[in-house]
Amino acid sequence: MAKRRITQETFDAVVKENIEEFDMEGSEALKEAIEQFESQGVDLSFIVKAVPKVCSEENSEDQTHEVLQALESLRNAVASSSASVLEDLRVFTQQCSLGFAQRYLAAQKEAYPTILACCRRAGEEKEALSVALAALSALTDGQPDLLDVEGQEFLIGALTAHQTDPALTCLCVRIVRHFSLKHENNRQGLVKAGVLPLLTRSITRHIEHPEVVKEACVALRVMTFDDDVRVPFGQAHEHARMIVVEQNGLKVIVEAAKAHSGNASLLSELCATLSRLAVRNEFCQDIVDLGGLNFMITLLADNLDCQELVKQVLSALKAIAGNDDVKDAVVNAGGGEFIIMAMNRHMSNAQVCEQGCAALCVLALRKPNNCKVIMECGGALAALQAMKNHPAEVNVQKQSCMLLRNLVARSRDFTQPILEMGAEALISQALTAHRDCDDVGRAALRDLGCQVELRELWTGKKGSLSH
């Protein structure tokens, strides 16, 4: 059930009442108001949880939040063409950076048109434009609905006009990402306006600037998301195809990775983006042909201690192994062994275990020779250890069950060794603890030759019982 929402004014009124009517100190009044609303099931994530500040010494009754004071000061400076505009923009940016509630409140008070006007007013003055874009970036973080036609035109124009400037490019690309996350219509509008070539060119043009490469890489990845619950069918697959086919995106990403082989944070983002682009059989093979597979295997071998990078490399290997020929290439390059080593190294991390089991599961699918390698390297034992270590993590349990099933589906000789490792008890525990494991768990038990209890399900039709 959705939580109740209140306005900032309602919250502030209760804080004020606590101070004036019950003689509470500001901090006490604030704490009391928060507890009161939370006990009533009110969502306070949109509320600035602070005591409003006095706006002027002349009128102590005139109180508002600091982000709104900064916004008002900025508007006054813009209206009077004051030299303080840039400083006011910086203060506003700092306030918006404090949290989503501050950004939301500013947006409710029509901050977006004011900031966009400052961006337009900056023109070719790079310092002014940089400060204004930083404010726009801070305001739009988590608020993609703010984008309008005017804002889209400005953003595409600014990216085009300043594509040789790495700092301005980075800011513009970050704003593109903010507007695209969880907003399918914005994504489609920006793609139609030509944002994809601007993003890929940003990477190639500024390949020596890791911050630009990272921002553009993440923005490209967001274009392939299907994360807007308001839209039943998005263009995620089509956008991925456009990035690869029309913008040569795979080569752009692989070359960027090779150029920054020592930057673990950036490499994590590049691998995550490759995962999102490997949506077709031929794209998976293209990544191998571009040297992406050998690069990722080397990356995994050299960075086994870097947890986040390991997780993203495992995800990328899983994605490209959707191609049957690539499955063999991954195993022949030693990928199976390194995946298992990574799992054992980070056995306490549920996400690494999940991605490791998922990658091995794909490599084992319809590939008896790959199953043999995985078994010899201790893959089944690692999966079962992951199940033991993370009994509450449903995705770890599911991926492990699917891996175990794939290992024995065409290689019955592995059944007894896996059972002797304690597989039946662990799978049964997963079935008891997680409803979502029902299908994969029972399938794994069945293929392992264990007794499986079939449950009758009532379908709602007379005389229809299904097993």
| Domain locations in the chain as residue ranges | 8-40, 147-277, 281-450
Coil, helix or strand at residue 201 = helix
Half-sphere exposure of 183 (CA within 13 A, CB side): 22
Coil, helix or strand at residue 462 = coil
Asked if residue 168 lies in contact with residue 158, where contact means CB atoms within 8 angstroms, the answer is yes
Q: Is 185 left (phi over 0), alpha (psi -120 to 50) or beta?
A: alpha
Amino acid (1-letter code) at residue 443: A
Coil, helix or strand at residue 53 = strand
Task: Give the DSSP H or E segment for 28.
Answer: helix 26-39
pLDDT of 62 reads 67
Torsion sign over Cα 138, 144, 145, 148: positive
Asked if residue 374 lies in contact with residue 360, where contact means CB atoms within 8 angstroms, the answer is yes
pLDDT surpassing 80 at residue 90: yes
Question: Which residues have CB under 8 Å from 309's CB, separation 6+?
Answer: 264, 267, 268, 271, 299, 303
**Alpha-carbon distances of 121 from 101, 116, 128, 173, rounded to whole Å:** 27, 9, 9, 20
pLDDT of 3 reads 82
Q: What is the pLDDT of residues 264-293, one digit of tens each?
A: 999 999 999 999 999 999 999 999 999 999
Q: What is the pLDDT of residues 400-436, one digit of tens each?
A: 999 999 999 999 999 999 999 999 999 999 999 999 9
- What is the number of helices (H) and of strands (E) in the chain? 27, 4
The CATH class of 147-277 is: mainly alpha
Instruction: Show the tokens assigned to 204.
Output: 């190639």
Instruction: Show the tokens assigned to 365.
Output: 């699918």
Give the orientation angle of helix 324-332 with respect to helix 307-320, to 10 degrees.
140
Q: What is the pLDDT of residues 182-211, one digit of tens each?
A: 999 999 999 999 999 999 999 999 999 999
Q: Are strands 457-458 and 465-466 parallel, antiparallel or unpaired?
A: antiparallel
In the block, residue with structure tokens 């009161």: 36
Q: How large a percentage of the chain has pLDDT more than 90?
A: 93
Classified by CATH at the fold level, domain 281-450 comes out as Leucine-rich Repeat Variant (1.25.10)
Asked if residue 297 lies in contact with residue 338, where contact means CB atoms within 8 angstroms, the answer is yes
pLDDT of 455 reads 61
- Do 147-277 and 281-450 agree at the fold level? yes
**32-54 mean pLDDT:** 95
Give the orientation angle of helix 423-433 with respect to helix 394-409, to 10 degrees.
140
pLDDT surpassing 90 at residue 113: yes
